[in-house]
């Protein structure tokens, strides 16, 4: 089989690679761009999988980053449903499923993350699902169509979002989680309590401080048992036990790997000309002064674009502040910038009882993150204050006073 030559090889069929391809062309990149993704679909956005797509309110095509025809129209060759079997970073070669060998000048590795699989008794029973790709969401939607009770394992984004979506579709849902309060790992107990109560008020059962012991059933899951002895009957289970970066290809290629592909501030890996973006990218953040790896839609989008500019010779560091969002059906929506590794104080702004507030996470007097519920107007100011690193100790009262304009805090 003849050796193919391309200028840019993009590995990974998600947000990062699709936006990298678009930015390469927008910046005038010439030569061939080859985007290889292992999923059968064109690159798509993942947030709908636990929200409107899961509820049957949108289609797979609605989630596509670009329309299918966009790739040919912009001179980007898309190989979906294709694995990259080996990657030679130093020799600039990659071997694809089927044996085709690709020579490239520069490459992006955006291989994403894989779900953490639970290894407990009964984990092989039918009716136990994980959510990562479109096919998973479709399988959950089909499998719970006739179900009455669904148990979610994990009290973070996936558990809370799926519980809200399925409850909105008439299912009785229960969340089993190690933490006492839903979403508290990201936002702390006090802010997490707001979302915890929203879920409870809409009928979701929450079992905090519980560790999974086993799944019970003959051939299909019938109940979840915790280590405390609690038994929760169910017709199906969705597990949200986190993910881990898919570094297998990078590690075999000799790239430096540590909780992701280790990259500099430009998103370049330990091998010149090889870049990473999205869930798999562990980059040197000039804003935070530490290494970060962030699993979220907006980060993959922004890093894909920045990696494209770096691939074309750009020297600017990646300075985008990570942004997150989540929806619990139409019950509550949150936005968050940060992320805060730690904090010693939370300043509240707005009306928590009315569900319109923001929480400002301070560490040593400086803003580390901000969480907003129905107060999006606060986030641009939060971004500015995080990036500036200004000491907010003298401004606590102004932060907490909804009548004080945030522009006044310099």
List, as one string, the DSSP characters of 233-292: E-SEEEE---EEE--HHHHHTT--BSSSEEE-TTSB-SSTTEEE-GGGEEEEETTTTEEE
* Structure confidence by residue, pLDDT tens digits, 212-259: 999 999 999 999 999 999 999 999 999 999 999 999 999 999 999 999
Peptide bond just before 8 cis, omega within 30 deg: no
**Confidence at residue 1, expressed as pLDDT on a 0 to 100 scale:** 66
> According to DSSP H, which parts of 9-131 are helical?
15-26, 60-63, 68-73
Rounded Cα–Cα distance for residues 284 and 263 (Å): 7
Q: Residue 372: what are its φ and ψ, rounded to 5°?
A: -125, 135
Nearest Cα residue to 7 out of 116, 106, 125, 101: 106
* pTM value > 0.75: yes
* Structure confidence by residue, pLDDT tens digits, 169-224: 999 999 999 999 999 999 999 999 999 999 999 999 999 999 999 999 999 999 99
* Structure confidence by residue, pLDDT tens digits, 284-339: 999 999 999 999 999 999 999 999 999 999 999 999 999 999 999 999 999 999 99
Nearest Cα residue to 77 out of 17, 3, 134: 17
Contact 114, 202 (CB under 8 A): no
* Structure confidence by residue, pLDDT tens digits, 353-375: 999 999 999 999 999 999 999 99
Per the structure block, which two tokens stand in for 23?
Answer: 């930015």
Per the structure block, which two tokens stand in for 116?
Answer: 């953490």
Rounded Cα–Cα distance for residues 236 and 337 (Å): 34
Nearest Cα residue to 96 out of 182, 43, 186, 34: 34
pLDDT mean over 151-177:
98
CA distances from 218 to 35, 38, 125, 407 (A): 44, 34, 8, 62
Rounded Cα–Cα distance for residues 211 and 199 (Å): 20
Per the structure block, which two tokens stand in for 93?
Answer: 């070669």
**Confidence at residue 196, expressed as pLDDT on a 0 to 100 scale:** 98
How much is the mean pLDDT over the chain?
A: 97
Residue 390 makes CB contacts below 8 A (sequence gap 6+) with: 366, 367, 409, 410
Rounded Cα–Cα distance for residues 149 and 165 (Å): 13
Residue 54 makes CB contacts below 8 A (sequence gap 6+) with: 48, 137, 140, 141, 162, 165, 166
HEC sequence for 320-338:
CCCEEEEEECCCEEEEEEC
**Confidence at residue 403, expressed as pLDDT on a 0 to 100 scale:** 86
Share of the chain above pLDDT 90, in %: 98
Rounded Cα–Cα distance for residues 270 and 260 (Å): 12
pLDDT mean over 13-25:
97
Rounded Cα–Cα distance for residues 331 and 310 (Å): 40
Q: Can you count the helices (H) and strands (E) in the chain?
A: 10, 25
Contact 366, 347 (CB under 8 A): no
Rounded Cα–Cα distance for residues 363 and 358 (Å): 16
* Structure confidence by residue, pLDDT tens digits, 88-140: 999 999 999 999 999 999 999 999 999 999 999 999 999 999 999 999 999 99
pLDDT at 410 over 90: no
How deeply is 357 buried, as exposed, middle or buried, from its count of CB atoms within 10 A (0-12, 13-18, 19+)?
A: buried
Tokens 């990218």 locate to: 281
Rounded Cα–Cα distance for residues 324 and 335 (Å): 6
pLDDT at 73 over 80: yes
β-strand partners of 282: 262
pLDDT at 26 over 70: yes
Alpha carbons within 13 angstroms on the beta-carbon side of residue 65 total 24
Nearest Cα residue to 10 out of 296, 305, 320, 321: 305
Per the structure block, which two tokens stand in for 88?
Answer: 């030679």
């Amino acid at each position: 089989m003849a050796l193919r030559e391309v200028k840019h090889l993009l590995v990974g069929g998600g947000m990062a690679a699709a936006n990298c391809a678009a930015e390469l062309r927008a910046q005038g990149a010439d030569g061939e761009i080859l985007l290889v993704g292992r999923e059968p679909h064109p690159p798509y956005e993942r947030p709908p999988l636990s929200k409107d797509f899961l509820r049957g309110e949108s289609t797979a095509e609605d989630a596509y980053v670009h329309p299918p025809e966009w790739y040919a129209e912009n001179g980007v060759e898309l190989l979906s449903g294709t694995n990259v079997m080996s990657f030679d970073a130093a020799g600039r070669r990659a071997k694809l499923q089927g044996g085709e060998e690709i020579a490239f000048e520069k490459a992006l590795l955006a291989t994403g993350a894989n779900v953490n699989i639970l290894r407990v008794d009964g984990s092989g029973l039918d009716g136990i699902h994980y959510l990562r790709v479109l096919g998973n969401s479709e399988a959950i939607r089909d499998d719970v169509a006739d179900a009455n009770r669904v148990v979610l394992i994990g009290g973070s984004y996936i558990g809370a979002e799926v519980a809200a979506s399925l409850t909105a579709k008439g299912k009785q849902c229960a969340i089993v989680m190690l933490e006492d309060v839903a979403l508290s790992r990201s936002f702390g107990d006090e802010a997490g309590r707001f979302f915890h109560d929203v879920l409870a008020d809409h009928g979701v059962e929450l079992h905090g401080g519980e560790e999974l012991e086993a799944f019970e059933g003959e051939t299909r899951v019938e109940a979840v048992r915790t280590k405390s002895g609690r038994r929760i009957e169910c017709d199906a289970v969705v597990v949200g036990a986190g993910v881990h970066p898919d570094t297998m290809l990078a590690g075999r290629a000799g790239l430096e790997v540590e909780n992701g592909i280790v990259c500099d501030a430009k998103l370049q890996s330990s091998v010149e000309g090889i870049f990473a973006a999205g869930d798999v990218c562990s980059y040197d953040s000039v804003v935070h002064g530490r290494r970060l790896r962030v699993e979220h839609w907006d980060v993959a989008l922004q890093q894909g674009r920045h990696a494209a500019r770096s691939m074309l010779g750009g020297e600017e560091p990646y300075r985008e502040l990570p942004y997150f969002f989540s929806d619990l059906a139409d019950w509550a929506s949150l936005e968050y910038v940060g992320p805060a590794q730690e904090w010693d104080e939370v300043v509240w702004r707005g009306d928590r009882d009315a569900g319109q507030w923001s929480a400002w996470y301070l560490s040593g007097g400086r803003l580390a993150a901000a969480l907003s519920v129905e107060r999006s107007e606060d986030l641009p100011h939060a971004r500015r204050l995080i990036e500036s690193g200004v000491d907010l100790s003298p401004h606590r009262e102004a932060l907490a006073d909804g009548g004080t304009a945030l522009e006044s805090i310099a």
